[in-house]
Structure 1
Amino acid sequence: MATAMHRFLAWLSGGAPQGRQSFLAAQQNRASAALAAALPDAVDPFELSVLGALGAVAAAVALVAASYWRGLAVLVPLGMGLNWFGLSVDLPLARRRRGAETVAEGMTHHLCEGFSLPLLILAYGFSPFLTFRSAVVILLCYLLFSSYVYIRAATRSAPQMAFIGVGVTEFRLLLAMWPFVALALDLPATRGDPLPVIDIAVMSLGAAAVLGFFGKLFLDGRRLAATARRAP
């Protein structure tokens, strides 16, 4: 029973070795490396990071403006494409040119990414495609997981952590395509309900995410304790 529970928590939280990589991690790495190799010398990693943040701003504006004209939803994938390009290629470009990114380049990347995704989640809360309650739940889960990822990185643990195979790339793809999923499901028409079905779904997934997070803490705690016992 204990072994089965351990395996379940590992699968849920990405604690198993195969779970640390998201579904699209390999494709993402290959695409980023190819794009970095194709860019001219005039392109700077700082510029790519800023481009990624500007793409997020454009997508966020389109989301909020879609409350007045739904046709603006087509701009969301374009903005998210810029966001992905800028924040997926900036560090590979720096590593390709100098072997490793500088402290300033790494800080710029993390600042732009830390600004972009929360902005987009909040923008969804003011769009017709998601309720504000659902956006807050998603934002809290994102902040919970991202803070732990940074703690793991700071302590030199593996920084990559995916939730059931969903990492940053998959999350960006979901943010880009959600307006069209919401329109197909006619979710904007349910926003006035006392408890829309989307809120129930998001809250349920949020509870599962928190369970996975505490499962990750449990597994990492056991691993660190085992390492400490083996240390001389």
Structure 2
Amino acid sequence: MRSGDVLKWLRNASPQRGQSFFYTLEQQATLAIARAAPHWVKPSHLSLLGAVAAVCAAAILVGSHSWPDLIWLLPPAMLVNWFGLTADLPLARLRGGELPGSGMTHHVAELFSHVLLIVAYGFSPFLSARAAAIILVCYLLFSSYCYIRAATRQTQQMAYLGIGVTEFRLLLAFWPFIAIALGVPESLHDPLPGIDVAVMALALIAVLGLFGKLFKDGRRIAAASTQEK
């Protein structure tokens, strides 16, 4: 793949601030996937594939209560989820068919996948229902802010402190193994597990940071509106 192709691809992509750790590498990978996709594969097929993979991953998490070895299937399921929901829009752009419907299908499938997986973690041996609920609230807050910001500034903030959708998927894929190493499953029977305390603290920091960013962006939007008058 030539560097000129990558730069052209990045220029033609939707306007966004790609600040995540794996942004550039991911753009190169999705370009290669989109160019190699058979002609009969449509963006909607990939979006559906990603959503179905999320359902499988959620079933793996819940089923790991009874069948612990199922958890080894979680990373492959999340890989398919990443493949479908990362390559669908690039494929649409490459074929010149990035219609509003393609974007709508992608965002609905991605939102469905993440919400389903966070809820499934609450019913798994690797996270308490309380911690999962806190994470879900934070995810919905950040997602809402992302979409509002896109509507008001015609740009999408896809990452915060280097953590974007791909990094979040990696965490969802490998958290069970981290949790086992930290002894989280055994601690969930405590009145207040340590993982809950950690999630609460991180959630508080994240929400405060979000409100700070909201205040700064509000001032920038107000200043830009004043200049346009």
TM-score (norm. length: structure 2): 0.90
Q: Deviations over 1:137-175 (max 9, x none)?
A: 000000000011111222243212422211111000100
Pick from 28, 31, 41: which aligns with 2:29? 31
Aligned to 1:14: none
Aligned to 1:94: 92
Change (3 A) 1:231 1:104: closer
Pick from 102, 107, 121: which aligns with 2:104? 107
Change (3 A) 1:43 1:161: closer
What CA distance in whole angstroms lies between the structure 1 residues aligned with 2:176 and 2:35? Answer: 33
Pick from 64, 68, 75: which aligns with 1:66? 64
SS at match of 1:137: helix
TM-score (norm. length: structure 1): 0.89
Q: Deviations over 1:81-135 (max 9, x none)?
A: 111000000000010011x511211111111111100000000000000000000
Aligned to 1:51: 49
What CA distance in whole angstroms lies between the structure 2 residues aligned with 1:71 and 1:183? Answer: 13
- Please tell me the root mean square deviation across aligned C-alpha atoms, in Å: 1.2
Aligned to 1:8: none
| Deviation for aligned residue 1:20 | 5.5
Pick from 23, 28, 39: which aligns with 1:41? 39
Pick from 137, 151, 155: which aligns with 2:152? 155
Please identify runs of 4+ aligned residues in structure 1 that moved more than 3 A: none
SS at match of 2:125: coil
Aligned length: 213
Residues 1-232 of structure 1: pairs in structure 2 closer than 5 A? 21-98=19-96, 100-232=97-229
Q: Does the Cα contact within 8 Å between 2:51 and 2:110 map onto a contact in 1?
A: yes
Aligned to 1:15: none
What CA distance in whole angstroms lies between the structure 2 residues aligned with 1:211 and 1:177? Answer: 27
Name structure 1 gaps, 5 residues minimum.
1-18
What CA distance in whole angstroms lies between the structure 1 residues aligned with 2:73 and 2:180? Answer: 15
What CA distance in whole angstroms lies between the structure 2 residues aligned with 1:173 and 1:196? Answer: 23
Bigger relative contact order, structure 1 or 2 (CA pairs below 8 A, ≥6 apart)? 1
Identity %: 58
Q: Does the Cα contact within 8 Å between 1:80 and 1:176 map onto a contact in 2?
A: yes
